[in-house]
Copies of this chain bind each other. A is one copy, B any other.
């Protein structure tokens, strides 16, 4: 199989969501045009993205919704279960644990770690919060994915400990760049950066308006 770029995977993820919606509406077929439209790309792009994985559509007829949905589900690995360790049981961590989509997508949290003595020993979602010092013990739990929801300062150290315990995927919520060895997949949800990028854009607009006002 050809090496698939991260942006291709992101589009597949979007196509999958469109297919879920269309499937729920009871539609049997979807055109590459309709898939493309929702994602803001060309239909040629849709056909190219899907062609990596086989031949799904029929010219002029489009794609069978249920078939393509199942295929994408399998391609994205969503029909498998993944064992997750959550590090950091604060606001973000708790929201994740309460997020039903997490389990629905195949992610089972099997261990929770925190460094705060006030949280260690507490029970959240049926799991007892363990001391973060015990992360090396996660090796015995066959964890696939580590979710880092710690403060910025602890994040790299936690990532290192998770990788040493055999974790092969990391979802990082801490607002900093993490370094992981080759063979470990890192994905980042950096809300702080998105907020700053938003405030930058609004600030530029505000400043432009002021200058226009001063000139007018």
Residue numbers of A with Cβ under 8 A of B are 1, 4, 6, 9-10, 12-14, 16-17, 21, 38-40, 75-78, 80, 82, 91-92, 94-95, 98-99, 101-102, 105-107, 144-145, 152-153, 168-169, 171, 175-177, 179, 183, 185, 187-189, 191-206
Contact = CB atoms under 8 A, between A and B. Distances in A.
Contact of A17 (B175, B195, B198, B205): B175
Given A91-B95, A105-B192, A9 B200 contact: yes
Contacts of A206: 77, 80
B200 A171 contact: no
Contacts of A205: 168, 183, 185
Given A91-B95, A177-B39, A177-B40, A13 B198 contact: no
| Copies per complex of this chain | 2
Contact of A197 (B10, B21, B94, B106): B10
A24 to B, nearest CB: 9
A202 B185 CA distance: 8
Per DSSP, chain A at the interface is helix
Contact of A179 (B40, B152, B198): B40
A76 to B, nearest CB: 5
A194 to B, nearest CB: 4
Contact of A185 (B1, B77, B201): B201
Contact of A21 (B9, B39, B152): B152
B76 A196 contact: yes
A17 B176 contact: yes
